[in-house]
């Protein structure tokens, strides 16, 4: 496995603003993913963060709303843009080596007022 | 159709007793992986156990075991000797080997487990 950290761990934001969440891994990983978990719900995959190229988004998620960067094999960011209260969720990054187990970061709890 | 179904929204178990959390899955892919994660109130997702579709034996990890019944497409999690710290949400997940989505996981809706002292 790996040690995965996320910043910030939680935040309270005003609607219309943007928040960038960072995910740092202590070793190089093949795959990095971003998930959203709305209150009381299961996890929904937002996108796969691709190193050196544009992220691959799942249905219902677009780059303008959730821009993602992955400049190297240990780091990725997710931005939640033009936030509304509906964006209040836990955002989790996960990592995997090839098609193996995904390991998750501690999550970022976001509340949008 | 749901890829992963967890039919127990909430479960209670007495401390030191065993508990089984149900999970059924749906796939036509002959190669797949099944996972269980624990999510305490802190929000992090903790990997517990993995079962590959071709594994002959049920996976075990300490107090966790996976009761894999391939013909019934079920992958129930058994927690033995429950502890108060086991109180959390538990998610079953599946990864299919095929498809063009890389390593996409499908998650169930989760089961909330409460361990009673």
Q: Which residues contact residue A45 at a Cβ distance below 8 angstroms, ignoring those fewer than 6 apart?
A: A33, A34, A35, A58, B104, B105
Q: How many CB atoms lie within 10 A of CB A81?
A: 16
DSSP secondary-structure letter at B31?
Answer: S
Can you count the helices (H) and strands (E) in chain B?
0, 12
Looking at the predicted structure, is the pLDDT value of residue B37 above 60? yes
What does the block give as tokens for B52?
């590959």
Task: Please judge whether A107 and B108 are an interchain contact, meaning their C-beta atoms are less than 8 angstroms apart.
Answer: no
> Higher confidence at residue A53 or residue B20?
B20
Cis peptide before A8 (omega within 30 of 0): yes
**B interface mutation test: which of A101, A107, A108, A110 has the most B CBs within 10 A?**
A101
Mean pLDDT value across residues B4-20:
97
The pLDDT of residue B27 is 92
Looking at the predicted structure, is the pLDDT value of residue B30 above 80? yes
The pLDDT of residue A71 is 93
CB-based burial, A50-65: b 16+ in 10 Å, e otherwise: ebeeebbbeeebeeeb
The pLDDT of residue B54 is 93
Residue B97 touches chain A, beta carbons under 8 Å? yes
The pLDDT of residue A91 is 97
**B interface mutation test: which of A51, A99, A107 has the most B CBs within 10 A?**
A99
The pLDDT of residue A65 is 97
For B103, the closest of A31, A43, A104 (CB atoms) is: A31
Average pLDDT taken over every residue of chain B? 93
Residue A96's closest CA among A40, A38, A49?
A: A49
**Positions in chain A short of pLDDT 70:** 99
Give the model confidence (pLDDT) of B55-107 as tens digits: 999 999 999 999 999 999 999 999 999 999 999 999 999 998 765 555 678 99
What does the block give as tokens for B68?
């894999």
The pLDDT of residue B116 is 97
Residue A47's closest CA among A85, A91, A17?
A: A91
DSSP code per residue over chain A = ---EEEE-SEEEE-TT--EEEEEEESS--SEEEEEEE-TT---EEEEEEPTTS--EEPTT--TTTS-EEEEETTEEEEEE-S--GGG-EEEEEEEESSSS--EE---EEEEE-
Task: Provide the shortest C-alpha distance from residue A82 to chain B (in Å).
Answer: 24
The pLDDT of residue A99 is 64
Which chain B residues are closer than 8 Å to A48 by Cβ?
101-104
Which chain A residues are closer than 8 Å to B45 by Cβ?
43, 92, 94, 104, 107
**A interface mutation test: which of B53, B55, B88, B103 has the most A CBs within 10 A?**
B103
Which chain A residues are closer than 8 Å to B33 by Cβ?
99, 101
What does the block give as tokens for B103?
């390593």
Query: Distance between CA B20 and CA B86 in Å, rounded?
Result: 13
Q: CA of A46: which chain B residue's CA is closest? A: B104
Measured in residues, chain B has a length of: 117
The pLDDT of residue A88 is 97
């Amino acid at each position: 496995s790996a040690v995965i950290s996320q910043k910030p761990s939680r935040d309270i934001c005003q609607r219309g603003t943007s928040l960038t969440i960072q995910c740092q891994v202590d070793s190089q990983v093949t795959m990095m993913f971003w998930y959203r978990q709305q209150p009381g719900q299961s996890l929904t995959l937002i996108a796969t963060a691709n190193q050196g190229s544009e992220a691959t988004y799942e249905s219902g998620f677009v780059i303008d709303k959730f821009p993602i960067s992955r400049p190297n094999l240990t780091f990725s960011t997710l931005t939640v843009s033009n936030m509304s209260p509906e964006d209040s969720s836990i955002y989790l990054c996960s990592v995997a080596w090839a098609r193996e187990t995904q390991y998750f970061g501690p999550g970022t709890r976001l509340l949008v007022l | 159709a749901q890829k992963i179904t967890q039919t127990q929204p909430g479960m209670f178990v007495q401390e030191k007793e065993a508990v089984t959390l149900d999970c059924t899955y749906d796939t036509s892919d002959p190669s797949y992986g099944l996972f269980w994660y624990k999510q305490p109130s802190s929000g992090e997702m903790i990997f517990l156990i993995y079962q590959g579709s071709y594994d002959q034996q049920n996976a075990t990890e300490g107090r966790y075991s996976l009761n894999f019944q391939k013909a019934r497409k079920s992958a129930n999690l058994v927690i033995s000797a429950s502890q108060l710290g086991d109180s959390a949400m538990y998610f079953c997940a599946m990864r299919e080997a095929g498809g063009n989505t890389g390593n996409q996981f499908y998650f169930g809706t989760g089961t909330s487990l409460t361990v009673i002292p």
